[in-house]
Amino acid sequence: MEWYPLKGDGRALWGRPFFGDTALDAELAATEGVLWQSERGLRRLALPFAPDAPFPLTALFCFAEIAKIDKKRYAVYCVDACGCPVMPLHDAKI
């Protein structure tokens, strides 16, 4: 699944801010290097992560999954169509 750069708060892509929450959308718009993708009807958002820097979107840290994308670390969030965060997607292998 390909990742795409996100500019601003997502309004240009979805016609509304990504989260619909003023504080979260302001923090998102102020963050550089953000990536996004759609998967299984959900939107995934990846914000650059560094252990020695403040956690991106701290208010949502419990929904984040740390992942490597192109050899860089990101805090990845999944959001439903209403802008509500959901737990990270994991492919179950049975």
pLDDT in tens, 23-46: 998 999 999 999 999 877 888 999
If one compares 75 and 20, the residue with the highest pLDDT of the two is 75
Return the domain boundaries, the chain. 4-86
What average pLDDT does the segment 38-60 reach?
Answer: 91
Provide mean pLDDT across the span 58-63.
93
What local confidence, expressed as pLDDT, does residue 94 receive?
Answer: 28
In DSSP notation, the chain reads ---EE--TTSHHHHSS-SSS-HHHHHHHHH-SS-EEEEETTEEEEEEE--TTSPPTTGGGGGG-EEEEETTEEEEEEEE-TTS-EEPPP-----
pLDDT category of residue 51 using cuts at 50, 70 and 90: very high
pLDDT confidence of residue 89: 64
